[in-house]
Amino acid sequence: MSQSRPHSLRFRFAIASLLWVGIATLLAGVVISDLYRRHVTHTFVGDLTNHLDELTMLTMPGAGGAPVMFRPLSDPRFQDPRSGFYWQIEQNGRPALTSRSLEGHYIVPASGSGSPSPYWTRDHGEKLLRIDRPGAGGLSFSITASGRVLDAELIAFRSDLAISLALFAALMLTGAALQVRYGLRPTQRLAQWIDELREGKRRRLPGDVPSEFSGTVGRLNELMEAQASLVARARVEAGNLGHNLRTPLALVTAEAERLADAGQGDAARFILDQCHRMQRQIDYQMKRAAAAGARGTGVVDDLRAFTDQIIGALQRLHSDRDLTIVNAIPPGVAIRVDPGDLAEILSNLIDNACKWAASVVSISALAGAASIEILVTDDGVGIPEGLRNQVLDLGVRLDDATPGSGLGLTVTRDIVSLYDGALDLRSVPDGPGLIAVVQLPRR
């Protein structure tokens, strides 16, 4: 719960289930144990009452009025000294007959006329459940059972109960775990749909979700539709603005050229420089608008194959130069970037490398756990370290004799930043040239 972190639903359900099952099992154990104790005590009292009835029926006055029993009680435990079951007959407040289990000892005589209700007492340090009954001729009958007999039965039952409840709790927790897993399955599907949405495989989330999520999914779809509509409208407005600016800009440029033809060279050059600057700004903002509109809505499954397509186009563009373009990207590397944005990034960097390379341009990639680095290396003269940040600014060119607009690296940097990535220019460690490194997060 990596997915079972404290802030995850799975963790919360697991803790809630554990607490509930634990508390319910504990309460069940207490209640069942108490019910069984009452039942066993009631049974003991019933057995002792029956034995007392039997003792009363078997006892008759003998010669001289002393009590005599015709036969022993039917329960053999009254014959066993270690059984914990005793009886005693008193005459005029003094013990007259006792069970063999007392081994010649006596139970403390009952006070008064005795009580037919069972009660607990202590005799010689032993806890006894006792019933007394008065009889004719000054006789008093007492029958007792040691508390250790009842305790032993309760302990045995509680041991079995604990094992049974532990197994029951384990089954309940297993069922709760399966229930949580089944209940959270829609959230896993929702996460998968969102990934597909980010990869451009879906345009909206499906409505086939549990009712608890339907409201959230509906609002997300409405939000994405509103954002898509806003971005589309912004891109249309940007295109219209660019078109509306290009027409008067073309007229101003033409007028400046006529001024140059008329001999007003200084004024014409100033106006043309400003027109070119405005044109670069228009082109730059149009490229930014196009890239921002597609952010995070696609994935490139094979970076090497994708780069081969870019290399093929640029080889035709630079066919007049004897350049070797090497694609050293491992096969099967995937990257979550809109294909249009990635094409813009690679085209700008490889084209720039081809303009400055002496003979070789190499493209490679390093895939890490959290990010992917794309490296475009050329064997040209390189860029001095003090100028590397400067060339990333809009319209900056180190050599006006080399074809270009000064927009490529700036646009590339801005597109990369849209994906929370970075563009870095480095020196080749063991020779001349430049390495343009694009770092993009894998997610």
For 135-182, the pLDDT digits (tens) are: 887 888 999 988 888 888 899 999 999 999 999 999 999 988 888 888
Q: What confidence tier does 242 reach under pLDDT thresholds 50, 70, 90?
A: low
Q: Where are the beta strands (DSSP E) in 295-383?
A: 324-327, 360-367, 371-378
Q: Answer yes or no: is pLDDT of 217 > 70.
A: yes
Type and span of the H or E element at 270: helix 265-292
Cα distance between residue 395 and residue 278, in whole Å = 10
End-to-end Cα, the chain, rounded Å: 20
State whether the Cα torsion 368-370-374-375 is positive or negative.
negative
What is the residue-averaged pLDDT of the chain?
A: 81
Reported as a single tens digit per residue, the pLDDT across 354-377 is: 888 888 999 999 988 888 999 999
Residue 437, strand partner residues? 375, 424
Q: Give pTM, 2 decimals.
A: 0.50
Counts of helices then strands in the chain (DSSP H, E): 8, 12
Reported as a single tens digit per residue, the pLDDT across 37-60 is: 999 989 989 999 999 999 999 988
pLDDT of residue 281: 67
Reported as a single tens digit per residue, the pLDDT across 369-409 is: 888 999 999 988 887 777 777 777 655 555 554 555 556 78
Task: Provide Rg for the chain, Cα atoms.
Answer: 48
pLDDT of residue 396: 55
Residue with tokens 């409840």: 165
pLDDT of residue 432: 83
DSSP readout, 175-192?
Answer: HHHHHHHHHTHHHHHHHH
Cα distance between residue 144 and residue 395, in whole Å = 109
Token pair in block for residue 34: 């108490």
Q: Answer yes or no: is pLDDT of 2 > 50.
A: no
Q: What confidence tier does 188 reach under pLDDT thresholds 50, 70, 90?
A: confident
**Number of alpha carbons in the 13 Å side-chain half-sphere of residue 40:** 20
Alpha carbon of 124 to those of 102, 111, 127, 146, 289: distances in Å?
12, 17, 9, 12, 99
